[in-house]
Amino acid sequence: MSELKALLFDVDGTLADTERDGHRVAFNQAFAEAGLDWHWSVEKYGDLLKVTGGKERMKLYLSEIPKAEHPAAAKTDLDGFVAGLHQAKTRHYTQLLASGKIPLRPGVLRLLKEARSAGIKLAIVTTTTPENVTALLSYSLSPESLDWFEVIAAGDIVPAKKPAPDIYTYTLEKMGLSAADCLALEDSDNGLRSSLGAGIKTLVTVNDYTQNHDFSGATLVLDQLGEADQPFKQIAGKPVDATFVDMNLLQSLHSNQIS
Ligand code: XBP
Ligand code: MG
C-alpha cells in the first residue's frame, strides 16, 4: 500500500467559499463596466456553475441568448469579446479578494499547517485563473503561503478543464507522484469526476451550491473540514469516529483503515 505523500487541493468552494459572493459579484461588476445589461443572480449563477471556467461559463450564457441580442463585439469576435470581459472580471475578483472579504473555510489553514509539519507535499489543482489563486492565498492566507505548494496547476494550463482529469494528471506528472500517493480535496461533482478520473481518492466538503451534487465514488463527504470546537457533519462515506479532518483521519482514509 502506497503511503500518503501529497494532498491536492481544489480552490473554489474548497479552500474558500468563493463563488456566490466572489466570482459571481465580479462577473456582474465586469458586465456593468462593459455597459451590458447582464446580471447573474445567485440562482442563475448556480445553474451556470455546471460549466467550469469563467470564459466557458460566459459562452454558455451567450448560447442561451438569441444571437440577434448578442452584443455586436460578440458577433464579430466571440473569443476576443469573452477574453476581454474575463480579464475585467479577474481584475474585479482579485480586488474583492484584496478587501479580505473571502475567508478560508474552517479547518483549511490548520490542515495545511499540519500537513506541512508532517512532511506531506501540497498542490493546488483548480480551474480558476492563476492570478485568482495568487490573490486568494496572498490575501486570505499570506504571501509566503504561495511557496507551500509544490505545484499550482490552474486555469488554461491544460486543454480540458474539470470534469476532465487533465488538471490532476498534469499535477501528478509535475510532482512525479502516482495517484495512489495522493488524496484530493474537492467541493463539486465536476471536481470529483476530475480527481476520480485521474484515479485519486477524494474527500469532498460541500457548500450551498454543491450540497445536492452526485458525489458517488468519494471516499468521504462532509459539510466542512471542521475544527476541534466545530465538528463536521458527515454526509456520505463509511462512518468515521473523528469530528474534524486532521492528518490522522486523512492517513486512515488513504490507507483504507477507516478510523
Ligand atoms: C471553479 C471554477 C472557476 C471559477 C471562476 O474552479 O470553475 O472557473 O468558477 O474562475 P475550481 P475563472 O473549483 O476548480 O477551483 O473565472 O478564473 O475561471
Ligand atoms: Mg471547486
| 128 has pLDDT over 70 | yes
- Topology (CATH) of 6-17+103-255: Rossmann fold (3.40.50)
Specify whether 77 is catalytic: no
Q: Are 6-17+103-255 and 19-98 equal in CATH topology?
A: no
> Residue 126: CB within 6 Å of ligand 1?
yes
What mean pLDDT do residues 233-247 have?
96
Claim: this prediction has a pTM higher than 0.95: yes
Site to probe by mutation for ligand 1, drawn from 9, 23, 124 as the one with most ligand atoms within 8 Å of Cβ, is 23
* DSSP H or E segment with residue 183: strand 182-186
Q: Which whole number is the average pLDDT over 29-53?
A: 98
Q: What is the mean pLDDT of residues 248-256?
A: 95
Q: Report which ligand 1 atom has the smallest distance to the Cα of 89.
A: 16
pLDDT of residue 148: 98
CA of 65 to the centre of ligand 2 (A): 26
pLDDT at 44: 98
Task: Please classify residue 229 by burial: count the beta carbons closer than 10 Å to its beta carbon, then call 0-12 exposed, 13-18 middle and 19+ buried.
Answer: exposed
Residue 89 CB partners (closer than 8 Å, separation 6+):
23, 26, 27, 29, 30, 54
State if residue 22 touches ligand 1 by the CB under 6 angstroms criterion.
Answer: no
According to the model, what pLDDT value does residue 53 have?
A: 98
pLDDT tens sequence across 156-165: 999 999 999 9
State residue 84's pLDDT score: 98
Q: How confident is the model at residue 259 (pLDDT cuts 50, 70, 90)?
A: very low
For the chain, first and last CA: distance in Å?
17
User: At 155, which amino acid appears?
Assistant: G
Q: Candidates 9, 127, 132, 206: which one to mutate for ligand 1, based on the most atoms within 8 Å of Cβ?
A: 127
Distance 152 CA to ligand 1 centre (A): 14
For the chain, the structural domain boundaries read 6-17+103-255, 19-98
Q: Average of pLDDT values for 91-120?
A: 97
Asked: is 19-98 a CATH 1.10.10.60 domain? The reply is: no
Residues 133-152, mean pLDDT to the nearest whole number: 97
Categorize the per-residue pLDDT at 1 as very low, low, confident or very high, splitting at 50, 70 and 90: low
Residue 234's pLDDT is 98
In tens, the pLDDT along 174-209 reads: 999 999 999 999 999 999 999 999 999 999 999 999
Measured from the alpha carbon of residue 153, the closest ligand is 1
Residue 41 class from Cβ within 10 Å (0-12 exposed, 13-18 middle, 19+ buried)? exposed
